[in-house]
Copies of this chain bind each other. A is one copy, B any other.
Amino acid sequence: MSHTSTYNVAVVGATGAVGQKMLETLEDRNFPINQLKLLSSSRSAGKKVSFKGTEYTVEEAVPESFDNIHIALFSAGGSVSKKFAPEAVKRGAVVIDNTSAYRMAEDVPLVVPEVNEADIQNHKGIIANPNCSTIQMVAALEPVKNALGISRIIVSTYQAVSGAGNEAANELREQSQAFLNGEELEANLLPVKGESKHYPIAFNALPQIDVFQENGYTFEEMKMINETKKIMHSPELHVAATCVRLPFFTSHAESVYVEVEQAGVTVEEIKKLMDHAPGIVLQDDPATQTYPTPLDAAEKKDVFVGRIRKDLDHENGFHLWVVSDNLLKGAAWNSVQIAERLIANQWL
């Protein structure tokens, strides 16, 4: 492949919640695009999408769609990635895949640039973008791990419906209005599209994200557990997760307990680490009721950290509250960031 200064970019799943944010982010970052191709499954083909003032027609992805593409950003579901990512790679593209299809594959780097940018270099055509709830947690904990070492994480999540796509956001909107009107709530999608049971999400909390695994954990919980170890290069790290879907549209929040290896660490030290970490914004001042919230974090690229406290019984234990826009740092921005690092380091 020639090293051009602009690139032919394909966005697969361009009409989805993440795909839309990818286009916004590419535009916002003034990404060096030569030719842009918007692709989707047959269901969304033909839709019109605008980018930098130009209208594009979304095309159905076929193997030949990836001819002459340098970078392909996938977010159209695991089955689409499994079918077309190898076709894109075969044609010389580098795939940045936002689905779970390749994340745990041994020869696929799983990357959060603030944590393991160097792993990008080892790609064999596919680079995986981690799960949204994993990304913001490892971004917040990496500076702690680097400075102090970490041995254990216990996280409980507070996750927005947009993580389940535009349809889930519509379901929350419709159910909320129905509830306020005193009408019956109709639940057809959440917690998991296609599963046999559906619960209302409006004014409710659902302790299930993605399908249950044999061990009683959900797939979302196992993603957080396994992806964290891979991204942080810490196979021995103890990670436990409980993932909960909540009635808000944007940004995931996380209540994180972390045990550091170094003794005698103070809250001030952790705050200082956060304050100097790339991509992290410290919002932590109890005296002025300053802490991150999902509404405030929405539409921003950073990971926001607050409520940092020392455990009252465990010398090495700390509690944190971590919030970030699940569609930006949790998906679109992290993917575009990987593409930017790929180019800047000439690892394409």
Contacts and interface: CB of A to CB of B under 8 A. Distances in A.
**Copies of this protein in the complex:** 2
B289 A240 contact: no
A30 B146 CA distance: 62
Contacts of A239: 312-313
B289 A238 contact: no
B197 A288 contact: yes
A244 interface: yes
Contact of A312 (B180, B225, B247, B312): B225
B173 A180 contact: yes
Given A176-B180, A177-B180, A207-B321, A289 B212 contact: yes
A66 interface: no
A204 interface: yes
A109 interface: no
Interface in A129-187: 152, 154, 156, 158, 173, 176-177, 180
A283 to B, nearest CB: 10
Contacts of A199: 293, 295-296
Contact of A154 (B204, B257, B306, B309): B257
Interface in A195-231: 195-197, 199-200, 203-208, 212, 215-217, 225
Interface string A272-302: 0000000000000011110111111000000
- Size class of A's contact patch? 35 or more
A239 B293 CA distance: 25
Interface stretch (A11-19, A248-256, A328-336): A248-256
Given A180-B173, A295-B200, A248 B205 contact: yes
A292 B239 CA distance: 24
A280 to B, nearest CB: 17
Contact of A203 (B267, B295, B317): B295
A307 B203 contact: no
A246 interface: yes
A310 B287 CA distance: 38
9 contacts: A154-B257, A176-B180, A180-B180, A200-B295, A203-B294, A204-B293, A205-B293, A207-B307, A238-B313
Given A154-B154, A156-B255, 11 more contacts: A173-B180, A176-B180, A197-B289, A199-B296, A204-B293, A205-B293, A207-B307, A208-B289, A216-B267, A216-B286, A238-B313
